Amino acid sequence: MARIMVAMSGGVDSSMAAALLVEEGHDVTGVHLKMADTPSGLPGKGCCTLDDARDARRVADLLGIPFYVWDFAATFQERVVDDFVTTYAAGRTPNPCVRCNERVKYTALMERALAAGFDQLATGHHVRLIRGEDGMVHLMRPADPGKDQTYVLYMATQKQLRHSAFPVGAIVKADLRAMAADRGLITATKPDSHDICFIPSGDTAGFLSARLGSRAGEVVDHDGTVLGEHEGAYRFTIGQRKGLGISGLDQPRFVTGISGSTVTVGRREDLAVELVQVEGVTWTQGRWPDAEAHLTAQVRYHGNPLPVRLDQTSQRGLEVTFTGDRPSGVAPGQALAVYEGDECLGGGTIAATSP
């Protein structure tokens, strides 16, 4: 029997993670992270509302386990929200879910759980772990491909994986909901979160505008022709088509580049990327992949894995060449995760791209 802390977001995945561990006979404690003062009454918005905290507590009470709310609001503000704003201001497109796992929900909570004497941290992430005979722990895609969350955990270390439990990774979501209903869990039919939890309105441009103000600039074509003006390059991201403030062109235009206050647009074919520079690279096994390995890379949360070749450029720098199909609309600031088959080997942050 292990002493396990379960991060309970108030959703069905973490609720069932706790339930399954209790049924296995472990000493389970539930913890809900208060990360933002998001109001109630926002169905499907995420893991930060008062409703979510109440739902998590009700599940813990039903399971008969201790339950605590830990205030991570200041950490979340500094490491995720402020980073989100700063990254957009620099002309990049961040992934706040990756940053949250990297800096708060997984990493920071893991540190606190181990410091408090727990053997493991369990979460409702849809990933699987395979523990090799050599002691190496492998981060694998889950049973339900549509819920795969290995992409947001690419930064996990061996120490963290050895102290992790992901009880729902071997169960498809439909079955998981049925199991939750059978156990009388209030979260059984609760909708999944799809939005940025600290922007419950979904108005990212408005959120950023309130913090960054007006930063006027130009929208230009690839030849430098000025097509329009804007109030802030942070309102745009690579691949964006709508809301460009331009019209009367022969073909639709997409954002292909952001530099300072200048937003460059081009045709759809201009979005294809062959080479990506990646920084801040980490590997789940603590080492670079074998040179002979057949690798793929994923540049979006639910993007398709595409064949790649890797070339190390520095201790934590990587050049990724797409050797088959090429991704489209890749933005600096996004995460890139590297895979060998169904195993996530690691990844980093996209620093630059080449068409």
Buried b / exposed e over 264-281, threshold 16 CB at 10 Å, is: bbbeeebbebebbbbeeb
As a whole number of angstroms, the distance between CA 46 and CA 257 comes to 31
Catalytic one of 47, 97, 100, 344: 100
DSSP 48-117: -BHHHHHHHHHHHHHHT--EEEEE-HHHHIIIIIHHHHHHHHTT----HHHHHIIIIITHHHHHHHHHTT
Q: Is residue 47 among the annotated active site residues?
A: no
Check: CB of residue 112 under 8 Å from CB of residue 70: yes
Contacts of 201-208 spanning 24+ positions with Cβ under 8 A: 205/234, 205/235, 205/243, 208/85, 208/88, 208/232, 208/234, 208/235
SS3 251: coil
| DSSP letter, residue 135 | S
Nearest 5°: CA angle at 338, between 335 and 343?
Answer: 125
Catalytic one of 47, 48, 97, 197: 197
Check: CB of residue 216 under 8 Å from CB of residue 194: no
Q: Is residue 197 among the annotated active site residues?
A: yes
Which residues are catalytic, by number? 100, 197
